[in-house]
Amino acid sequence: MLQKVADLMERARQAIGQGIIYKLGSGGMKPEQASPANQDNECDCSGFAVWALGMSRMTNHPLYLKFNQGWINTDSICLDAKQSTGFFTEISQPRVGCLVVFPKNSDYGHVGIVSDVANNETIKVIHCSSSNYKKFDDAIQETSPEVFDVPDRIFAWFDGIIG
């Protein structure tokens, strides 16, 4: 099912203010639900991003099955975008509605949804993180993009988005 950018952004923003707890490997399993969180109100960055896109973080797509048993996470999103064989295509400039993502480096990977762009620069990102939870008691926030200022960051467009 194709989705418009405006609908994606509305869905992503509706998750803000739900008091979601950050927990790695949680959430994003049931895209039909009104929240990306699991039954314990927990979610992580990739769980939030795929839920906002209307997907489950588990897939039977061959690329994901081969790479990591079907999990959609930061590493697999980056691999997919660079190969353009699955759900995502790497783009050179940020666009509202694209994912900004970097794979797991020595500590962690991260993904968010670009929510504001000016002069080809990311201004704001909606993302789920432990630092958001520590600061706001709510893991999903719309913030400045500093956490994504890393060398291996890419922008990925979900092929199910139009507009």
E strands present in the chain: 3-4, 21-22, 42-43, 88-91, 99-102, 110-118, 121-128, 140-143, 154-158, 161-162
User: Rounded CA gap, 81 and 72, in Å?
Assistant: 12
- The owner of tokens 């769980």 is 47
pLDDT value of residue 106 = 58
pLDDT value of residue 108 = 75
pLDDT value of residue 29 = 96
pLDDT value of residue 137 = 97
In one-letter notation, the amino acid at residue 33 is: Q
Helix 5-14 to helix 45-52 angle, to the nearest 10 degrees?
A: 140
Spans of the chain below 70 pLDDT: 1-2, 106-107
Domain covering 3-158 in this structure, CATH number: 3.90.1720.10
pLDDT value of residue 64 = 92
pLDDT value of residue 85 = 81
User: Rounded CA gap, 134 and 137, in Å?
Assistant: 6
pLDDT value of residue 59 = 95
Q: Is 120 left (phi over 0), alpha (psi -120 to 50) or beta?
A: left
How many CB atoms neighbour CB 86 within 10 A?
19
Which two three-digit tokens encode residue 159?
Answer: 């092929």
